[in-house]
A and B are shown apart, each in its own frame.
Chain A
Amino acid sequence: MTDETGATPAPSTPQATPHYGVYFRIWGVLLAITLLMVFTKNPAILLPGMAAKATLIALWFMHLKDERKDFIFYMVASIVLMSLILFALIVPDGKAM
């Protein structure tokens, strides 16, 4: 809900009691993934682990899941495209140096 300038107005009266439980559940999952990554140090777990943690933070903590689909696309596509170019096409050339 936004006003004519696009700003989300602060609630004039308190809304429903906030539910903090979901954030602590995400927190627990993030800690569990971190521990799994530290104990295994296996690249097959590290890369998906980093991706999973980043996704959880972006979707739930940053509330990206609540934004419009086109906005999510612009944000994610730009970073994914840049990362693919960087890490799949340029970084491997370091081996040849």
Chain B
Amino acid sequence: MTTMATTESRWSSGLSPFGMSWQKLMMWWFIVTDALLFAGFLGGYGFSRLGSENWPPAEKFFSLTYLTVMTFVLISSSATMACAVAAARAGDRAAVAKFTGYTMLGGIGFLGMQVYEWAHFISQGGRPWAVPEGLDARFGSYFFLVTGFHGTHVLIGVLILLVVMLRARAGRFTANGVEVAGLYWHFVDLVWVFIFGCFYLI
């Protein structure tokens, strides 16, 4: 026991980085690097769009009302996730399971709507290498890359939330664990703010 404590003490240096857990710090580190990756994607999108003479307007292929509903669903799931974290801090197991479940439903709803959006664009002739009517094909490339990459994040988030919810129902959760999962989910919502703005509104 003494040896274990000594080893832990050596590894932790007796310090708590920035006054937070290592798990939380590593999640923040991941979030920053992932944010830079998304920034690179959106930067490339902006660079290509500015230099294009026949960039398709997003309204041509997508319903803004539908996309606004998608955004509402994701923002709402972020709010319920914040409630799940608050419940975890209060040690309210039932509330953690409930709010995590709501968040997961929001994520599944968003993913379902995105699948429909993809199917709709593909049915109109949209491909990663082509856009209908001879418009700039790079729009299709960026659309499938960025929304696909974001959708993959949402899918992974839903799986993480499923684990968190099952653990909460079994009473095997920590406030720290729920908070780290929450950070990831809020990041997914935060990235969508910029994707929605850059792709569909500007």
Binding site for B on A (CB under 8 A): 2, 4-20, 23-24, 26-27, 30-31, 34-35, 37-38, 41, 43, 46-47, 49-50, 53-54, 57-58, 60-63, 67-68, 70-71, 75, 78-79, 82-83, 86-87, 90-97
Contacts and interface: CB of A to CB of B under 8 A. Distances in A.
Contact of A31 (B72, B85, B202): B72
B43 A86 contact: yes
A52 B95 CA distance: 29
Contacts of B76: 27
Contact of A18 (B22, B79, B90, B193): B90
Q: How large is the interface on B (under 10, 10 to 19, 20 to 34, 35 or more residues)?
A: 35 or more
Given A7-B22, A94-B46, A94-B47, A61 B194 contact: no
Given A7-B174, A38-B201, A87-B39, 20 more contacts: A2-B16, A2-B19, A4-B16, A5-B21, A6-B22, A7-B176, A8-B174, A10-B91, A10-B174, A14-B91, A15-B91, A20-B86, A27-B79, A46-B197, A71-B18, A71-B28, A78-B36, A79-B39, A94-B51, A97-B50
Contacts of A12: 91
Contacts of B176: 7-10
A5 B46 contact: no
A20 B92 CA distance: 13
> Dominant SS at the A interface?
helix
A94 B50 contact: yes
A91 B43 contact: yes
Given A17-B90, A18-B87, A50 B175 contact: no
Given A5-B22, A8-B24, A8-B175, A54 B190 contact: yes
Contacts of A20: 83, 86
Interface in B184-201: 186-187, 189-190, 193-194, 197, 201
B152 to A, nearest CB: 20
B164 interface: no
B43 A62 contact: no
Given A23-B86, A90-B47, A7 B23 contact: yes
17 contacts: A2-B19, A5-B12, A5-B16, A7-B23, A8-B174, A10-B173, A15-B90, A18-B95, A19-B86, A23-B82, A34-B75, A41-B201, A46-B197, A57-B78, A61-B81, A86-B39, A87-B43
A28 to B, nearest CB: 9
Interface in B63-93: 64, 68, 71-72, 75-76, 78-79, 81-83, 85-92
A9 to B, nearest CB: 8
A19 B32 CA distance: 28
Nearest to A26: B79
